[in-house]
Structure formats: structure tokens, C-alpha cells
């Protein structure tokens, strides 16, 4: 029998392949796979369902990830997917895979973080599953939420001349991870040395304790606007812009000088000799929202502090970065790909 390496498909190729094997038996109530959350028509609203799994070694390293933070993050990344559909989460289920390396106190700590997030985002824990795991610690959360039918936002609605916006700075989580990895190596070589994280607190906080931008969902509602497309930035800005453009059959022009990058991110980029622009485009795990909005609606939200225009949508399918040095460069998806 033929054997094809998963790498040849890539994560998104694999999702496309799976999609072709299933037909939607309830097309009148269910939208197919392809957005941050699944959409189910439940009468006067749409119900949203999303799930995210985090594996030790792939998504987190317990050498520097407090379980309290892991619990919080595992919830926040799901809430972020619901927010990306312009919805608010209501319930979560939590499934964990445990080894005997994990103590009861550690599990208490994990659930302390989960509870903290449940309180912050006003969601209830309604169930889950527990298993032993032979491949390290695993946590998978499923979240459900709701959105008014006239407020739902998919990835495929971007139109030429829409403004492309992000909701906060980029690249910080990537450098937070680099700093933690560097400190881990220092610690392994010399366990008596104290980690020097103080000035990097902002970056480390971004990778260990991401926030879901539910505040933006509220702000958009208050302003009475609905974006034309939206996605959350988990794999990297470049990859997410390409998802919006491919699914909306449009292109985009993004301005390098508009990419929001904090000073500490810039400084740390120099220290690591990595381009801050590359980190902003491809670093991933920023968990900001990326959305497009028509120009009239943009006028109504342009003074909201965390809504930052970074470019606009074009009618052709080129996705480009207008460089500070003049000229343009094609934006390619070099962000996180699990395969």
C-alpha cells in the first residue's frame, strides 16, 4: 500500500484532505470545517464549538511552565477561537492525560489556573475526561459559545478595500519562548545560577499567560460594527493573513512600518540576532485577533486603543508586505506548522 509522509501534506493540507472525505448531512444547521470554531444553528443564535489540544514538548515545557499558567492558557486559547468568530464562550470541558510524574498538588495547581480563567472569561467547567498518558502531559479543552446570527464573522468575508487590523503587539510571545529556552540551557549547565527574567517579564508573560481578546468582541458590539472576516493569531500573522485571503479569494497589502512591535521585543530581537519583523510575521502564539472591516465601519472604531490598522485588502490575490526600504515582498506562510 502507498505510504505518503505527513510532511508532504502539511497541517493545512491534511485538514483539507479530511474535509473532502466528509459530507455535511445537516447543511441547513451546520457550517463545514474551516473556521476557528464550528457553527451550529440553534434557533435564535449560533452556537460555536472549538477544541484545542496542548502536548508537553510541543506546546509547553514543564521545566519552565508553571501548571497554573498552563491551565489558564489552555482555557484562553479556546476562548480566543470563540472570540475569532465574534462570539463569547460559555462552557468548557477539560480532558487531561497524566503520568505518575504529576502529583495531586500539581493537578490542583493546573485547576487553579483553569478556575482563574473560567472566572476571568465567565465560563463554566461542565465536564471532561481523565486518562493516563504514555507520552507526557496532555491537556485538551473544548469550548462552546454563542453569537447573535447577525454578528457572526467567518474567515471568508474580506472584501477589496477593507482595512486589515490587529488588536495588539506582535512577536513578543516568540521572544518570550526564546528567553525561556535560553534560561533553561543556562540552568541545565549551572543549576545554581538565578534566571534573569525581570526585564523580560513582558515577553515571558505573553507566552505563558496569553489573554483572549474578548474585550474586543465587546468593543465591536458597542460600536455597532461587525468585521467582514476574523481569525486569531496562533500560528503567526503571515499564516493567518493567508488564511483570510485564500478563503475570501482576495489579496492584501500590509505595511511593514505599521506592524505593532514593542520596544522590548525590538531590543530582544537584536540580542538574539533575529529579525523582529520575521518574529512578528511568523513567530506565532500572539493570540491577538486579526480582522478586516469596511472603511465606513473602521471610522467608528479607529480610536479604540488596541485596534491597529496594518494594511488593506486588494482585489487581486497577491499578499504582500510594503517594505520600509521601498518595494514589496510576498508574504509567505512560514509560521508554525505541526507536521
**Residues at the contact surface with ligand TPP, assessed by CB under 6 A:** 52, 58-61, 77, 177, 234-235, 284-285, 336, 338
In the complex with ligand TPP, the residue whose CB is nearer, 41 or 61, is: 61
The nearest distance, CB 22 to ligand TPP, in angstroms, is 19
In the complex with ligand TPP, the residue whose CB is nearer, 260 or 284, is: 284
Q: Mapping DSSP to helix (H, G, I), strand (E, B) and coil, where does residue 235 land? A: coil
In the complex with ligand TPP, the residue whose CB is nearer, 18 or 323, is: 18
Return the closest-CA partner of residue 174 out of 76, 277, 92: 277
In the complex with ligand TPP, the residue whose CB is nearer, 156 or 294, is: 156
The nearest distance, CB 13 to ligand TPP, in angstroms, is 15
In the complex with ligand TPP, the residue whose CB is nearer, 163 or 244, is: 244
The nearest distance, CB 223 to ligand TPP, in angstroms, is 26
Give the three cell numbers for residue 155: 474567515
Q: Say if CB 86 and CB 54 are below 8 A apart.
A: no
The nearest distance, CB 283 to ligand TPP, in angstroms, is 7
Q: Say if CB 126 and CB 145 are below 8 A apart.
A: no
The nearest distance, CB 44 to ligand TPP, in angstroms, is 29
Q: Mapping DSSP to helix (H, G, I), strand (E, B) and coil, where does residue 190 land? A: coil
Residue, CB closest to ligand TPP: 284
Q: What are phi and psi of 231, to 5 degrees?
A: -160, 160
CA 130 to the chain's CA centroid: 25
Q: Where on the phi/psi map is residue 268: left (φ > 0), alpha (ψ -120 to 50), or beta?
A: alpha
Whole-number Å distance between alpha carbons of 323 and 263: 19
Q: Mapping DSSP to helix (H, G, I), strand (E, B) and coil, where does residue 79 land? A: helix
Amino acid at each position: 500500500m502507498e505510504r505518503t509522509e505527513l510532511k508532504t501534506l502539511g497541517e493545512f493540507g491534511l485538514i483539507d484532505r479530511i474535509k473532502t472525505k466528509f459530507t455535511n448531512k445537516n447543511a441547513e444547521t451546520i457550517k463545514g470545517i474551516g473556521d476557528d470554531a464550528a457553527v451550529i444553528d440553534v434557533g435564535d443564535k449560533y452556537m460555536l464549538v472549538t477544541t484545542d489540544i496542548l502536548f508537553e514538548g510541543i506546546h509547553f515545557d514543564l521545566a519552565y511552565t508553571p501548571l497554573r499558567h498552563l491551565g489558564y492558557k489552555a482555557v484562553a486559547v479556546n476562548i480566543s477561537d470563540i472570540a475569532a468568530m465574534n462570539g463569547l464562550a460559555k462552557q468548557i470541558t477539560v480532558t487531561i492525560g497524566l503520568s505518575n510524574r504529576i502529583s495531586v498538588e500539581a493537578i490542583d495547581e493546573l485547576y487553579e489556573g483553569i478556575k482563574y480563567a473560567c472566572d476571568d472569561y465567565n465560563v463554566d467547567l461542565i465536564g471532561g475526561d481523565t486518562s493516563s498518558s504514555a507520552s507526557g502531559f496532555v491537556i485538551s479543552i473544548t469550548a462552546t459559545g454563542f453569537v447573535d446570527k447577525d454578528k457572526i464573522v467567518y474567515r471568508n468575508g474580506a472584501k477589496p478595500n477593507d482595512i486589515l487590523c490587529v488588536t495588539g503587539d506582535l512577536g513578543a510571545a516568540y521572544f518570550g519562548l526564546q528567553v525561556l529556552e535560553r534560561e533553561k540551557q543556562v540552568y541545565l549547565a549551572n543549576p545554581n545560577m538565578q534566571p534573569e527574567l525581570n526585564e523580560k517579564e513582558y515577553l515571558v508573560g505573553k507566552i505563558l499567560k496569553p489573554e483572549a481578546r474578548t474585550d474586543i468582541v465587546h468593543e465591536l458590539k458597542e460600536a455597532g460594527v461587525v468585521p467582514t472576516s476574523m481569525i486569531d493569531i496562533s500560528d503567526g500573522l503571515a499564516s493567518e493573513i493567508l488564511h483570510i485571503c485564500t478563503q475570501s479569494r482576495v489579496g492584501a497589502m500590509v505595511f511593514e512600518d505599521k506592524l505593532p512591535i514593542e520596544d522590548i521585543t525590538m531590543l530582544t530581537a537584536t540580542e538574539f540576532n533575529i529579525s523582529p519583523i520575521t518574529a512578528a510575521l511568523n513567530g506565532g502564539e500572539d493570540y491577538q485577533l486579526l480582522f478586516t472591516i469596511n472603511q465606513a465601519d473602521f471610522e467608528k472604531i479607529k480610536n479604540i486603543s488596541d485596534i491597529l490598522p496594518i494594511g488593506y485588502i486588494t482585489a487581486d490575490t497577491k499578499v504582500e508586505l510594503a517594505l520600509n526600504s521601498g518595494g514589496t515582498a510576498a508574504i509567505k506562510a512560514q509560521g508554525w506548522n505541526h507536521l
